[in-house]
Structure 1
């Protein structure tokens, strides 16, 4: 199976796990070796010397050249049996005279069991880096029926885990939200514009923008996935902002000049010229705001860079459409209505409620500022009560259980117990579709698991939650209770992808880990044993365990150098005996067609089973007599560390746990407080740090704290360049904290944790707030440049710009609504981001329409005095 799958494009390896690998076994009888005076080295040398081909160059005969080859490879058991070891009195001693030759299997390090029915063999298809996972899986699925035809009766290929199923489910979730968002945006456009032709003019810019975005995504090699399509969901409302501002301004100019003879095209381009500069700068500023995401590293960088790139590409596409297609469509499709048809009912309603509020706020501007500041302080005061985490957990529709036993557990015993656990799970939980368990490690060890460990992959049925009424968290709790009936095991729960990603990034399979560093393993162990009970007492702690380092037994053979010297025996002779007779030495290889199999030399099991038997092994001296091994060495069974882990060239021991029903940030904060006394009492040269997902969260947040201020400084420079006013640019930045109020309150009331995803939402929110502020402040300055007083310019600008600002906010909100209420796979990652933007847009609108005009007047109060 493996060779046929390995040749497929995009497949780099098939990692086989379970079953047996064929091997030729040469099993010498120690008594016969003594009888004939034959050593193990002679058997190894004879096998190597009697299994080879050789080339003899060629001979020339007349006009021909003929190659000469000697053929001496063994091809069967009789060939091995008839290898001559020596001659006794002219009579040859064959290998079969002193050893039994048979077909066996390699000593295996891994076993796979399935559904409580015993052993199975699995092949893990490993994808070539940079390949498209869907394309690779499609090729593998298409090839399987062809391979199945060539297999013996009763052997069936049955795929049990396909990561593209989750990928497709996530893409369906985000694609559905994207489609619904487009429909909602078009509906909002029609309602607010109250002009089907103007709404169509804006809507036509959507496919143009999407086409440009997709072309640029293809250019950068970005595929359609959860994050890139999620970026389009977020951007879909933003990309019509510029078009709305242009169309609305064209419509206003058309209304104002409805009775004139001016041509439609000059009117449209005059309207475009009026708003082009703020629109261009507003869109470019949003692009700049996303620069911090390009600096993210590791997992968060791989996730959010495609999202940021897609949003930037979509915004660039929208800018192209706004400056080219939309003005042309506007000149052709926007009506030149009369004065009496100026505003539709909704816009008049907005003006009726907004203008009195604005007038009151401007007159009582200091009270307005105090109220706004109080709201901001109130919102920021709830931040400490909002939980923090790296990323929201993605529901994979499967559960991964890592089970650990004592280090001395055998692989056979671990596999038998795994089969019993599988039976119990399938009998007790109707939500479970299948259970596949890996014990130990594969042939190509992609995971350093010992025989004492199992990885259970528990596949849940589709729609299990709605069908059986239990969430995956509840199922995990019940499984944990069931596993308590099996003594001597320590289970830890995760999900298949999450388990591997955690291990890949930080080397730890759990959510949180305390890494203890120092030189003495006993000190590390004692410290860990103090920490584990403390962590277990903290609310939310689950699967608390100490990295297993003790309890491993080892038979040690110490050389007696005086005895070895007396018998003139080398240490290598002893090592060869132990390495071959006990461990099994590979002497040569048998080739069968394109396959090759090792030939192993090893004593029979009963002659190497314990210390007493090993001591009776005979070692041949150079003088020809045999010496029992026990006279040359000291053999004892000792306890040694099961493993010694190192990090940064220092010994390390881990206490790890998962966090359930609580945010990671507050859990680690409490754990730090509880472990402070241990940290203060640690010996000199010993320390501990925090790892796992918390480490990822800290790294990502530290990076954003460093880069976001730099991006804001760049935004300020762009604002100054656009407005040619230090004061106006500073005014827009001063208002940014007010825009965050809605985002903070949204995640607080929706009980969403502050994660990297939510932080990305706040970054996007800053861009939207700057965009709205720039559109309004630039119009303030424009009207003042035309000779209007500060107060009059503010009131007039707000009256004229309330419609496009409300429209742009409503369209963006409409585009986000489907994802905000989505429940499918992948929505967990997008929801914090969307919630922050959704809540922030509402507060940003209030900021732009009420607080910004008030602060503009306050910032220009010296000019108001002069005017008065």
Structure 2
């Protein structure tokens, strides 16, 4: 866009008639290019800074968002620096070398003349209705702010990239057998294979010995492959319909990127919790209940809940040491025999087709699933006799944790809650006071993890930086337009310029992500650039003709800026259309939403640039010509030192 602005401004400068010569030469073209670069370099620099300042709060975002936004900010900063370098250093040279020389002044086309006349009448009509014009801008701005406020709800950080593979996660009730989970997964796999657009279904049950997932035997995962020519949205919805047909089973349908981001978010962005540490789970649960009751009496804490892992029934074999000693059986031998019956033991390996299969011996299904059969297991005694397992051990069903959560060597239980209505520091102080009133056994204690408070403090920093960014944008506008009143007027008109982007984003909010919403920064930069370039052109005209009336200078600058504004609005659209259409899944998921936001924003930004900014410059702009800038430009002309000639006396 920076390069396009300079090229279009050069062409606009060439369309103006020459004053001193009748035809364009290399010298006149070079002079025009130098004047264009001098006129646009400061406004473009200000617009680029405004874009960076608007995105500055993203540098202070923590957690998963910071992992995405911080590289995005630095990439954008490097791209803007490269664009300014190429636009201000390389583009003028290429324009000097490649643009043809005009030998005659080209007459204006009738269409352009009529459009210029219509535009002049529109500006005069809006100028004569000052109050109505300001109210219209305010209404559009409020509409944009209202639509933008609806985008602040929880939304995914990155878009759903249709990578043609869906992950279906199952979590049945605790205690569900592996065989039952396998039966349900097999039946669901058959239904999923029958869905149009699905090419294959694979998965696994429970957790492997070396798995990196913390799940129990009652969990399962299915990987659903979607055909390349199938409609991904329709196929995904059909898969969700099949999965929802199994009531009583917790499930989740996502893709790989969503799963990875969700896992990282749960570890990097935990919610508020009070954590109880200890060694024995019954005592932990008892103390966690006491902490929960204490939290329920603290103002600002809502819905305290014990976030304990689910329990599953297991068979416990507790050997009676005295009874085992009387028959001469070691406790370890009794436990190993029971484990062999229920879980099995590896007795060898089978080699087939270059694969290794373990040979496991264990009790039959009807034997190992029956407590009476386990109690009747015969154990060999040293004197050659036999004794039943139930005679020397207690065999019973007991609840047990599916997953053991711990920090270092201490088990833990979290009491999660919602906190609001009071400062977080006050709530934490009351919680710590309540915890001190609870008696904990040795090696047991409760504390508030610091991660949540650190995240809330980081969020507060982001808000303060955002407020500072707004002040910085206002200061940059004031520097560019030389007037506090005009800078404030342009600043207040920016919501109207961004209203189109906000409305389009609100209409398509279901498919948007936070990365897509960064397109607002590009629209903001375009709006700021239009305002600063208009002010710069008006100052240039006023500087060249200081006795011209202020209204005539502003209206002339506005008419000259019509073509550059329209063409610069088309440039980003034309640039983004090819990757949006030909970019595959990434183009559809990321670039298309950004393109729609930019197109909607450019509609209102262009209207504001053509109709609102000229009027604001007339009503609130500086009243004096920029005389001080003439000294700046004169300082760029090297001053030749005056050499005194020696005169010889005769």
For normalisation by structure 1, the TM-score amounts to 0.54
The equivalent residue for 2:447 is none
Structure 1 residue aligned with 2:160, among 393, 396, 399?
393
1:744 aligns to 2:502 (yes or no): yes
Per the TM alignment, residue 308 of structure 1 is displaced from its structure 2 partner at its CA by: 4.3
The equivalent residue for 1:834 is 595
The equivalent residue for 1:449 is 215
CA contact (8 A) 2:309 2:402 kept: yes
- Give the distance between the partners of 1:449 and 1:566, measured in 2 at CA: 42
**For residues 500-511 of structure 1, what are the structure 2 equivalents within 5 Å?**
500-506=260-266
The equivalent residue for 1:692 is none
CA contact (8 A) 2:160 2:589 kept: yes
| 1:515–1:796 CA distance, 2 compared to 1 (3 A) | same
1:472 aligns to 2:235 (yes or no): yes
The equivalent residue for 1:371 is 136
Structure 2 residue aligned with 1:325, among 90, 101, 112?
90
**For residues 285-300 of structure 1, what are the structure 2 equivalents within 5 Å?**
285-300=50-65
Per the TM alignment, residue 372 of structure 1 is displaced from its structure 2 partner at its CA by: 0.9
CA contact (8 A) 1:564 1:570 kept: yes
**For residues 484-563 of structure 1, what are the structure 2 equivalents within 5 Å?**
484=246, 489-506=249-266, 520=285, 550=310, 552-560=312-320
- Give the distance between the partners of 2:82 and 2:596, measured in 1 at CA: 25
* SS of aligned partner of 2:618: helix
| 1:462–1:841 CA distance, 2 compared to 1 (3 A) | same
Structure 1 residue aligned with 2:185, among 411, 418, 422?
418
1:844 aligns to 2:605 (yes or no): yes
- Give the distance between the partners of 2:286 and 2:239, measured in 1 at CA: 34
* SS of aligned partner of 2:231: helix
* SS of aligned partner of 1:746: helix
- Give the distance between the partners of 1:653 and 1:729, measured in 2 at CA: 51
The equivalent residue for 1:808 is 568
Query: Which deviates more, 248-257 or 574-583?
Result: 574-583
Structure 1 residue aligned with 2:173, among 406, 410, 435?
406
1:637 aligns to 2:397 (yes or no): yes
- Give the distance between the partners of 1:431 and 1:364, measured in 2 at CA: 59
Per the TM alignment, residue 817 of structure 1 is displaced from its structure 2 partner at its CA by: 4.3
Structure 1 residue aligned with 2:35, among 255, 260, 270?
270
- Give the distance between the partners of 1:834 and 1:700, measured in 2 at CA: 31
| 1:381–1:605 CA distance, 2 compared to 1 (3 A) | closer
CA contact (8 A) 2:505 2:597 kept: yes
Structure 1 residue aligned with 2:228, among 423, 445, 462?
462
The equivalent residue for 1:251 is 14
Per the TM alignment, residue 436 of structure 1 is displaced from its structure 2 partner at its CA by: 0.9
- Give the distance between the partners of 2:472 and 2:81, measured in 1 at CA: 18
The equivalent residue for 2:422 is none
- Give the distance between the partners of 2:340 and 2:483, measured in 1 at CA: 85
Per the TM alignment, residue 445 of structure 1 is displaced from its structure 2 partner at its CA by: 0.6
CA contact (8 A) 2:216 2:402 kept: no
Structure 2 gaps, min length 5: 277-283, 293-305, 419-433, 436-454, 626-650
1:778 aligns to 2:536 (yes or no): yes
| 1:343–1:586 CA distance, 2 compared to 1 (3 A) | same
* SS of aligned partner of 1:341: coil
Per the TM alignment, residue 798 of structure 1 is displaced from its structure 2 partner at its CA by: 1.1
Per the TM alignment, residue 364 of structure 1 is displaced from its structure 2 partner at its CA by: 2.8
Question: Between Structure 1 and Structure 2, how many residues are aligned?
Answer: 554
CA contact (8 A) 2:196 2:235 kept: no
- Per-residue Cα deviation, 1:175-216 (whole angstroms, up to 9, x for no partner): xxxxxxxxxxxxxxxxxxxxxxxxxxxxxxxxxxxxxxxxxx
The equivalent residue for 1:761 is 519
The equivalent residue for 1:440 is 206
- Give the distance between the partners of 1:288 and 1:379, measured in 2 at CA: 21
The equivalent residue for 2:413 is 651
Structure 2 residue aligned with 1:734, among 492, 514, 521?
492
- Give the distance between the partners of 1:253 and 1:765, measured in 2 at CA: 29
* SS of aligned partner of 2:205: strand
- Give the distance between the partners of 1:714 and 1:849, measured in 2 at CA: 25
Structure 1 residue aligned with 2:614, among 835, 842, 853?
853
Per the TM alignment, residue 251 of structure 1 is displaced from its structure 2 partner at its CA by: 1.9
The equivalent residue for 2:119 is 354
| 1:258–1:434 CA distance, 2 compared to 1 (3 A) | farther
CA contact (8 A) 1:404 1:453 kept: yes
Per the TM alignment, residue 434 of structure 1 is displaced from its structure 2 partner at its CA by: 1.0
* SS of aligned partner of 1:380: helix
Per the TM alignment, residue 321 of structure 1 is displaced from its structure 2 partner at its CA by: 2.1
Per the TM alignment, residue 572 of structure 1 is displaced from its structure 2 partner at its CA by: 6.2
- Per-residue Cα deviation, 1:451-509 (whole angstroms, up to 9, x for no partner): 3222111212222239xxx812441354246x44xx8755433334433432343279x
| 1:438–1:304 CA distance, 2 compared to 1 (3 A) | same
The equivalent residue for 1:790 is 550
CA contact (8 A) 2:162 2:585 kept: yes
1:431 aligns to 2:197 (yes or no): yes
CA contact (8 A) 2:57 2:466 kept: yes
Per the TM alignment, residue 703 of structure 1 is displaced from its structure 2 partner at its CA by: 7.6
Per the TM alignment, residue 366 of structure 1 is displaced from its structure 2 partner at its CA by: 2.9
| 1:500–1:843 CA distance, 2 compared to 1 (3 A) | same
- Give the distance between the partners of 2:179 and 2:20, measured in 1 at CA: 89
The equivalent residue for 1:314 is 79
- Give the distance between the partners of 1:256 and 1:735, measured in 2 at CA: 37
Per the TM alignment, residue 760 of structure 1 is displaced from its structure 2 partner at its CA by: 0.9
| 1:601–1:331 CA distance, 2 compared to 1 (3 A) | closer
Per the TM alignment, residue 582 of structure 1 is displaced from its structure 2 partner at its CA by: 6.3
| 1:752–1:645 CA distance, 2 compared to 1 (3 A) | same
CA contact (8 A) 1:399 1:496 kept: yes
- Per-residue Cα deviation, 1:139-194 (whole angstroms, up to 9, x for no partner): xxxxxxxxxxxxxxxxxxxxxxxxxxxxxxxxxxxxxxxxxxxxxxxxxxxxxxxx
Per the TM alignment, residue 745 of structure 1 is displaced from its structure 2 partner at its CA by: 2.1
Per the TM alignment, residue 811 of structure 1 is displaced from its structure 2 partner at its CA by: 1.6
| 1:768–1:619 CA distance, 2 compared to 1 (3 A) | farther
| 1:365–1:863 CA distance, 2 compared to 1 (3 A) | farther
CA contact (8 A) 1:407 1:551 kept: yes
Per the TM alignment, residue 820 of structure 1 is displaced from its structure 2 partner at its CA by: 6.5
- Per-residue Cα deviation, 1:416-438 (whole angstroms, up to 9, x for no partner): 44333333333x32322111121
Per the TM alignment, residue 795 of structure 1 is displaced from its structure 2 partner at its CA by: 1.3
* SS of aligned partner of 2:175: coil
CA contact (8 A) 1:251 1:336 kept: no
- Give the distance between the partners of 1:626 and 1:462, measured in 2 at CA: 65
